[in-house]
């Protein structure tokens, strides 16, 4: 992992500049690919690499692209999802701040494969400084002829536009993102139709996470076999594991898909904070069900985590130490989803609000014996009953807390 | 209608509108621009934006009231956003918030009487390895201590 060319986040203060990126072999993969390969071959290579989406759902990128109808006159779009809002997740920020040209080269490759002429990077409103850096990188690339008309002297043309959101977690959900980009409030759409057939401005649309796209230049620089060899056969490459919370060395660690969670926490993040033991771990952003300390030997890949009824999600790991009362965590989880519910579906709008009210009352010492059952009942009522995955995302962590830490909550109520 | 943007701002609005196949898509970028110039988005500004983009004023209001970074009331010259999600909470964000409330003499959600600071709490800012973190306007800070917060405030003129 020491080869600076083969990482998503290169070292060095000036790693974001075009000169530095060219020095790492930047834009060569896109140039060679566009000048020598057919779009269909690019798609096949990505399928072969088993690149799974890095945003949370883990859908294979190649399959997603293949859903876009090719015999279609409507303009097609790529939307890069840079609305990083999942608590505990800070990887896309790092890619964009330190390696914006890697993302742009990935965008060129994706758009060439699917036949797209316009790409939007939808970036969360709080990342204003990073949005400016992206704009500068786009301008640099355009001046070199890497973007715009006749890219690398080929007939392929591509425009990339940065679009800033304005503060809303739900806009990271792909159809809410489309609504937001169209100038509306971020209310998720009913699916089907899926964005691949009816997406942005009703055109066929691919939506991929920043980290997913940023892996493409590496796949084309070193080949699909190399990429698969770095991770697992069915889930290729590395992941940017963000570790935060009660650890000695919070940070971002790029490691092979399938690295055990315990190893990430102890060998890379320095283990639990001084004087604390681990109480709970969120393995993949706040929407992922909480794990207990005896569950952290799990390999960090989609299937292994699904097997223990949690999820890899955004690979944002949050370590909670034994000094933190679990009711505090429950209150924050509940408040977060109540705050971010878009209000469209009743189970999520009402469910999140009530769970938050009950958790707050419990936290203030006013808990009553039926509270835990009420929370479980409300969370179960959201699961699978909303338009978008947010109902599940709000229910899962709450249910895992009441199931795995119910005793601590019950003792608190009875005091 | 008494609202207008600077010549430079108006030019940038025109450029923004041209970027999209549908004018309404420029709504959030235009609102950001108006807010950057005026500090907040007044009812007059809402009407102006609606007329400029050829959409009902109600649709502008709908968007304005949905997104947390768009302000319908005047805010301070410096908007301080304190993150209080899990990683920041574990790292002591409550203490940082209490310190700021005491120091500025306002509660979260309020603006100081001199119009200099607005203090708000937010959910995850995506800077969890620098917890506890906060933002002052577009700038990130973290990890912050009480002393670091004092230092940041001293640097704001």
pLDDT per position as a tens digit, A41-81? 999 999 999 999 999 999 999 999 999 999 899 999 999 99
* CA–CA separation, B28 and B62 (whole Å): 11
A148 forms beta bridges with A158
The residue to which tokens 């995850």 are assigned: B124
Considering the domain delimited by A4-230, tell me its CATH architecture: 3-Layer(aba) Sandwich (3.40)
pLDDT digits (tens, 9 = 90+) for B76-111: 999 999 999 999 999 999 999 999 999 999 999 999
Rounded mean pLDDT of A394-402? 98
Size of interface A-B (CB pairs under 8 A): 143
Query: What token pair was written down for B84?
Result: 């209080």
**pLDDT at residue A5 is higher than 80:** no
Please give the residue of chain A at the shortest CA–CA distance from B137.
A126
What class is the B7-64 domain? mainly alpha
pLDDT digits (tens, 9 = 90+) for A169-210: 999 999 999 999 999 999 999 999 999 999 999 999 999 999
pLDDT value for B157: 85
| Residues 6+ positions from B44 with CB-CB distance below 8 Å | B1, B2, B3
* Mean of per-residue pLDDT scores for chain B: 97
- Nearest CA-CA partner of A176 in A32, A343, A396, A60: A343
CATH number 3.40.30.10 is the correct assignment for the domain at B78-154: yes
Place A6 in a pLDDT band, splitting at 50, 70 and 90: confident
Query: What token pair was written down for A376?
Result: 């479980």
pLDDT value for A269: 98
User: Chain B contact for A155, CB < 8 A?
Assistant: no
| Residues 6+ positions from B36 with CB-CB distance below 8 Å | none
Following DSSP, what letter does each residue of A371-415 receive, concatenated?
Answer: HHHHHHHHHHHHTT-SSSTHHHHHHHHHHHHHHHSHHHHHHHHH-
Rounded mean pLDDT of A392-407? 97
**pLDDT at residue A4 is higher than 70:** no
Place B2 in a pLDDT band, splitting at 50, 70 and 90: confident
Contact flag B86-A169 (C-beta cutoff 8 Å): no
Query: What token pair was written down for B54?
Result: 């050829």
Contact flag A183-B129 (C-beta cutoff 8 Å): no
Residue % of chain A over a pLDDT of 70: 99
User: Chain B contact for A316, CB < 8 A?
Assistant: yes
* Mean of per-residue pLDDT scores for chain A: 96
Question: What residues does each domain of chain A span?
Answer: 4-230, 238-321, 326-414
The string over A250-289, giving b where at least 16 C-beta atoms fall within 10 Å of a residue's C-beta and e elsewhere, is bbbbbbbbbbbbbbbbbebbebbbeebebbbbbbbbbbbb
Of A82, A87, A202, which to mutate for an interface test with B (greatest number of B Cβ within 10 Å)? A87
All residues of chain B having their beta carbon less than 8 Å from the beta carbon of residue A318 are 86-87, 128
Half-sphere exposure of A76 toward its Cβ, with a 13 Å CA cutoff? 25
- Please check whether residue B84 is in contact with residue B123, taking contact to mean a CB–CB distance below 8 angstroms: yes
- Min CA distance, B68 vs chain A (Å)? 5
* CA–CA separation, A11 and B88 (whole Å): 26
Among chain B, residues having any CB pair with chain A shorter than 8 Å are 19, 21-22, 24-29, 31-32, 53, 55, 59, 62-63, 66-70, 81, 84-87, 89-91, 122-131, 135, 138-140
User: Chain B contact for A107, CB < 8 A?
Assistant: no
pLDDT value for B80: 98
CA-to-CA dists, residue A316 to A4, A5, A87, A308, B29, angstroms: 23, 24, 8, 17, 29
pLDDT digits (tens, 9 = 90+) for A274-299: 999 999 999 999 999 999 999 999 99
pLDDT digits (tens, 9 = 90+) for B46-72: 999 999 999 999 999 999 999 999 999
Q: What is this structure's pTM? A: 0.97
Residue % of chain B over a pLDDT of 70: 99
Residue % of chain A over a pLDDT of 90: 97
Domain A326-414 carries which CATH code?
Answer: 1.20.1440.230
Fold observed for domain A238-321: Ubiquitin-like (UB roll) (3.10.20)
pLDDT digits (tens, 9 = 90+) for A114-161: 999 999 999 999 999 999 999 999 999 999 999 999 999 999 999 999
pLDDT value for A352: 98
Question: What residues does each domain of chain B span?
Answer: 7-64, 78-154
pLDDT value for A2: 46
Collapsing DSSP states into helix, strand and coil, what is residue A258? Answer: coil
Contact flag A161-B19 (C-beta cutoff 8 Å): yes
pLDDT value for B1: 57
**Do A238-321 and A4-230 have the same topology in CATH?**
no
pLDDT value for A1: 44
CA-to-CA dists, residue A208 to A64, A100, A319, angstroms: 9, 16, 28
All residues of chain A having their beta carbon less than 8 Å from the beta carbon of residue B21 are 75, 201
| Residues 6+ positions from B102 with CB-CB distance below 8 Å | none
Contact flag A184-B62 (C-beta cutoff 8 Å): yes
- Please check whether residue A282 is in contact with residue A316, taking contact to mean a CB–CB distance below 8 angstroms: yes
* CA–CA separation, B26 and B98 (whole Å): 38
pLDDT value for A3: 65
Q: CB under 8 Å, gap of 24 or more: what pairs does B149-155 form? A: B149/B96, B149/B99, B149/B100, B149/B103, B150/B103, B153/B103
pLDDT value for A241: 98
Q: Nearest-5° angle of CA A269, CA A278, CA A382?
A: 105
Contact flag B124-A88 (C-beta cutoff 8 Å): yes
pLDDT digits (tens, 9 = 90+) for A89-119: 999 999 999 999 999 999 999 999 999 999 9
* CA–CA separation, A188 and A176 (whole Å): 4
- Selecting from A164, A282, A329 the residue whose C-beta is nearest the C-beta of B32 gives A164
Q: E strand or H helix at A163, and its extent?
A: strand A159-164
| φ, ψ of residue B143 in degrees (nearest 5) | -75, 140
Rounded mean pLDDT of B13-34? 97
* CA–CA separation, B104 and B98 (whole Å): 10
Helix spans in A247-311 (H): 261-263, 302-307
């Amino acid at each position: 992992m020491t080869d600076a060319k083969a990482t998503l986040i290169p070292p060095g203060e000036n790693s974001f500049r075009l000169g530095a990126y060219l020095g790492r072999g930047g834009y060569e993969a896109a140039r060679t690919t566009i000048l020598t390969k057919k779009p269909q071959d690019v798609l096949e290579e990505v399928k072969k690499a088993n690149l799974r989406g890095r945003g949370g759902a883990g859908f294979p990128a190649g399959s997603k692209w293949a859903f876009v109808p090719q015999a279609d006159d409507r303009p097609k779009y790529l939307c890069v999802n840079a609305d990083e809002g999942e608590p505990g997740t800070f990887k896309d920020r790092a890619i964009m701040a330190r390696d914006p040209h890697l993302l742009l080269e990935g965008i060129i490759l994706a758009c060439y494969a699917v036949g797209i002429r316009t790409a939007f990077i939808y970036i969360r409103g709080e990342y204003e400084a990073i949005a400016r850096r992206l704009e500068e990188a786009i301008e640099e690339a355009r001046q070199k002829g890497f973007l715009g008309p006749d890219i690398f002297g080929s007939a392929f043309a591509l425009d990339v536009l940065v679009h800033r959101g304005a503060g809303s977690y739900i806009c990271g959900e792909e159809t809410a993102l489309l609504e937001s980009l169209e100038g509306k409030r971020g209310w998720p759409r009913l699916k089907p139709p899926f964005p691949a057939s009816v997406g942005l401005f009703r055109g066929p649309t691919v939506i991929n996470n920043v980290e997913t796209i940023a892996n493409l230049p590496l796949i084309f620089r070193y080949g699909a076999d190399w990429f698969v060899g770095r991770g697992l056969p069915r889930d290729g490459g590395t992941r940017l594991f963000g570790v935060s919370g009660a650890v000695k060395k919070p940070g971002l660690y790029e490691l092979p898909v399938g690295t055990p969670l315990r190893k990430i926490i102890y060998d890379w993040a320095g283990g639990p904070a001084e004087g604390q033991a681990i109480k709970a771990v969120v393995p993949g952003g706040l929407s992922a069900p909480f794990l207990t300390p005896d569950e952290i030997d799990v390999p960090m890949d989609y299937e292994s985590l699904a097997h223990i009824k949690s999820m890899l999600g955004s690979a944002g790991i949050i370590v909670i130490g034994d000094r933190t009362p679990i009711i505090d965590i429950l209150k924050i989880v509940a408040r977060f989803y109540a705050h971010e519910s878009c209000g469209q579906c009743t189970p999520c709008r009402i469910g999140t609000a009530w769970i938050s009210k009950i958790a707050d009352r419990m936290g203030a010492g006013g808990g009553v014996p039926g509270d835990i059952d009420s929370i479980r009942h409300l969370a179960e009522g959201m699961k699978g009953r909303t338009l978008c995955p947010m109902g599940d995302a709000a229910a899962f962590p709450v249910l895992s807390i009441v199931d795995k830490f119910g005793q601590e909550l019950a003792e608190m109520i009875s005091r | 209608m008494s609202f207008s943007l600077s010549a430079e701002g108006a030019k940038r609005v025109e450029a923004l509108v041209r970027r999209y196949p549908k004018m309404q898509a420029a709504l959030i970028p235009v609102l950001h621009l108006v807010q950057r110039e005026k500090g907040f988005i007044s009812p007059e500004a809402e009407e102006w934006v609606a007329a400029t983009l050829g959409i009902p004023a109600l649709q502008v209001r709908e968007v304005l009231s949905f997104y947390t970074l768009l302000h319908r009331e005047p805010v301070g010259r410096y908007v301080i956003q304190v993150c209080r999600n899990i990683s920041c909470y574990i790292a002591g964000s409550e203490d940082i918030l209490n310190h700021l409330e005491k120091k500025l003499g306002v509660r979260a959600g309020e603006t100081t009487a001199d119009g200099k600071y607005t203090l708000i709490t937010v959910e995850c800012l995506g800077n969890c390895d620098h917890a506890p973190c906060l933002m002052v306007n577009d700038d990130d800070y973290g990890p912050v201590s009480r002393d670091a917060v004092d230092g940041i405030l001293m640097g704001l003129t």
